[in-house]
Amino acid sequence: MVKRNPAGMHMESAENSPGAGTTRFRLSGAKALSPSYNSKNVIQQRNHLPATVAAVLLTALPLVSQAPPPPAPPAPRPQPALYRNLIVLDPAHGGRDKGSQISANSAEKEVTLAFAQRLRPALVAQGFTVVSTRDSDPADELTTDQRAGTANHVRPLACILLHAAPAGSGVHIVTSSLVPPETTPPPGRAVMWNRAQAPVIPMSLRLANEVGLTLEAANLPVLLMRSSVPPLDNLTCPAVAVELAPLKGSSKNATSAADAGYQQRVANAIAAGLASFRTHNAPPPNAIPSMASPRAGVAP
């Protein structure tokens, strides 16, 4: 289940009141899009040198004459805006944070982890490398800031937050409710931690759309929403939260989000949607400089 964000903004449990506090939007066809977003430096505070201290330092500097200038430092290697084949998965909850009770013997923290473990090979089959914020049930739960920090550090094509719900229907895809800035910040410009997602909201909406289309193509019911599920607002890459709710078919009994077959169908569709998003939105491979992987074994 997705939680209300600390600021209490635009956030509601999707399965309990799918219309309240959320904005639904329609799927539209995929389009070729401009590959023009860059990861941003994210800061929480900046230190400034007081003017008086700066003046003292200025006057105290020794005069240097005729000395050869020091050799220029080597130019830094250009940083890629993103790794077009890298996906971050964030199975929500864990440790003492069990999340919702999904079935008689499954807590949400177990369902999200199992779902991530099905999603990983489906993504690998599409040529992606996967980084997960957790691969087991940790003794202490990760904070949402820690999860966002992991994702922002590796600059993935997309980050997918995974939740599950005991009620509702189908697959809920949630995009941050932040409003994008009117002008695109210049590359390298610091952005506020609680608005880190704002500049990439258009990309995140395209991501939600692409994944929604492939889920629909797999005959899975989809609900697209806008809501600031933590830590969506803190992510610098395209990002959505995917909440797995029960699958209600023609029979009376709904299929639980803990069902392995249901999870596999959704995982396959999400992987196909991410592959489509990469095709339509990521910069071409030759536009990204080759560099060391963010983690061992991760290729750009």
Write out the residues near Zn ion by the rule CB under 5 A. 1, 92, 99, 163
Beta strands at 42-43 and 191-192: parallel, antiparallel or unpaired: parallel
Pull the structure tokens for residue 81. 């805006």
| 39: amino acid identity, one letter | S
- Residue 92 or 240: the one with the smaller Cβ distance to Zn ion is 92
Tokens 């890629």 found at: 80
CB of 174 to Zn ion, least distance (A): 11
Q: Which residue is nearest to Zn ion (CB)?
A: 163
Contact call for residues 205 and 275 (beta carbons, < 8 A): no
| DSSP three-state, residue 201 | helix
Pull the structure tokens for residue 21. 């506090």
List the beta bridge partners of residue 156: 83
* Cα distances (angstroms) measured from residue 87 to each of 128, 162, 191: 7, 13, 22
CB of 264 to Zn ion, least distance (A): 20
- Residue 1 or 81: the one with the smaller Cβ distance to Zn ion is 1
- Residue 107 or 275: the one with the smaller Cβ distance to Zn ion is 107
CB of 101 to Zn ion, least distance (A): 11
CB of 182 to Zn ion, least distance (A): 33
CB of 69 to Zn ion, least distance (A): 57
Alpha helices in the chain (DSSP H): 51-60, 108-125, 144-154, 201-217, 260-281
- Residue 99 or 231: the one with the smaller Cβ distance to Zn ion is 99
Contact call for residues 145 and 296 (beta carbons, < 8 A): no
CA distance 211 to 229: 18
- Residue 92 or 157: the one with the smaller Cβ distance to Zn ion is 92
- Residue 83 or 115: the one with the smaller Cβ distance to Zn ion is 115
CB of 17 to Zn ion, least distance (A): 15
